[in-house]
Chain A
């Protein structure tokens, strides 16, 4: 481990719980606990998992006209986002690529954006440069925890009764034992659950209170990755990059009508020309699900071919591994747009071309409380 890896606020608790710490996104983070990745994954789908995602950036935006100004950076409807609601967004680059993917919440007197840990410093520069008249800061005094799984509602509402009434993508400020929690009903697993911002001084006590419930187990990065992969969610830096557009990535749904061609606030974000053209005409390539036919996982970087002996590749795997809930290897990657679901491609695994079926995403149907 590198010495300059930043310790999470719950570092001591992770070590006490037997977490195997690895460097990730500049932070020292638990990749797994003694339960192991497979069991942690299945536990989250069956009961509830607690994730420390404090490495992620919590960006607060204040000032008059902030929603309108933020729409200059994101291709989504921010102005129409009601107080107490959150939606998925993309920080755009001039070429139509994506600088980061994020959640933006309307918390009344400010907007809260939750951004990827590895990108938060660059994101801050982009947002501050794009919104020079607004107050944009990354919080340094709050941890971020995620409680995910079918038991999440019962577990959290036992501590914080207001949590039960929230619907998917609601955000609220709730009191726990005199501590102000910023709660959203959302996550990165394909399960019902919450993401909870808690002041640093109370983060460990709150985590321990959640872990005290029989249904809750601590979950590491390994299972976080397999859970989101099964849920078909892109990982920034692999499935979504500065070189992929939202339309190619299958995230066109995140761009509301009002920002599309013919909408009242059409375009007006970096890369709009490219993105709107792709929405109209279709992209040349697209992100799809991939099911290797054998047992061998196909991971990031596996090259895809149309046939067993074709010379030139047609695509590449951007995320892949074993899907514990699927019980088989699963992957996602980019293929030509005319490649239909059910088509067979061949992935180069250690010099051998192994068949893989193109599928729709997700592999695991989300169970949100809408």
Chain B
């Protein structure tokens, strides 16, 4: 598991990376009431805003953590955005493939992320 400064977690397996937001991010956002997911097949560039999250407080974005392509999205979140508040580690947002997997080497591991949010 890897973590970004944008409070995303990345779980790579067999060339596909599952992406969600951290429990810390979910807590900061508050009750999430709306999630707009990207289209499957979309080519994304690192830093591009690809998910909109609306909480009871405000709207915010999730950016693509890497260059690549969206291969799958978690439709359950569109129906029930509160799943993210219930269990942020389980409530993945999208899966992607990437052309720059080596960039994950520079991302934080769990210990580094914990230090980052303190």
**Could you list which residues of chain A lie within 8 angstroms of chain B, going by C-beta atoms?**
31-32, 36-39, 41, 222, 226, 295-297, 299, 321-322, 324, 329, 350
Contact = CB atoms under 8 A, between A and B. Distances in A.
5 contacts: A32-B30, A37-B57, A222-B57, A322-B34, A324-B56
A329 B33 contact: yes
Given A226-B56, A297-B59, 19 more contacts: A36-B31, A37-B30, A37-B56, A38-B30, A38-B31, A38-B56, A39-B31, A222-B56, A222-B57, A295-B33, A295-B81, A296-B34, A296-B52, A297-B33, A297-B54, A322-B31, A322-B34, A322-B54, A350-B52
A322 B56 CA distance: 6
A295 B56 contact: no
Given A37-B57, A296-B54, A324-B56, A222 B30 contact: yes
B36 interface: yes
Contacts of B34: 295-297, 322, 329
Contacts of B30: 32, 36-38, 222
A295 B34 CA distance: 6
A239 B108 CA distance: 45
B36 A321 contact: no
Nearest to B52: A350
Interface in B25-74: 30-31, 33-34, 36, 52, 54, 56-57, 59
Contacts of A222: 30, 56-57
Contacts of B54: 296-297, 322
A56 B8 CA distance: 40
Interface in B57-116: 57, 59, 78, 81
A322 B33 contact: yes
Contacts of A31: 57
Contacts of A296: 34, 36, 52, 54
Contacts of B52: 296, 350
Interface size class of B (residues with CB under 8 A): 10 to 19
Interface of B: 30-31, 33-34, 36, 52, 54, 56-57, 59, 78, 81
Contacts of B57: 31-32, 37, 222
B27 to A, nearest CB: 9
Contacts of A37: 30-31, 56-57
A295 B81 CA distance: 10
Contacts of B36: 296
Contacts of A299: 59
A214 B110 CA distance: 39
A258 to B, nearest CB: 42
A1 to B, nearest CB: 15
A41 B30 CA distance: 13
Contacts of A297: 33-34, 54, 59
A346 to B, nearest CB: 17
Contacts of A324: 56
A39 B85 CA distance: 13
A351 to B, nearest CB: 11
B21 to A, nearest CB: 16
A205 B107 CA distance: 50
Interface pairs A-B: 10 shortest CB-CB: A38-B31, A322-B33, A37-B56, A295-B34, A296-B34, A297-B54, A322-B56, A36-B31, A37-B30, A38-B56
Nearest to A41: B56
Interface centre among A31, A39, A226, A295 (most CB of B within 10 A): A295
Contacts of B33: 38, 295, 297, 322, 329
Nearest to A321: B56
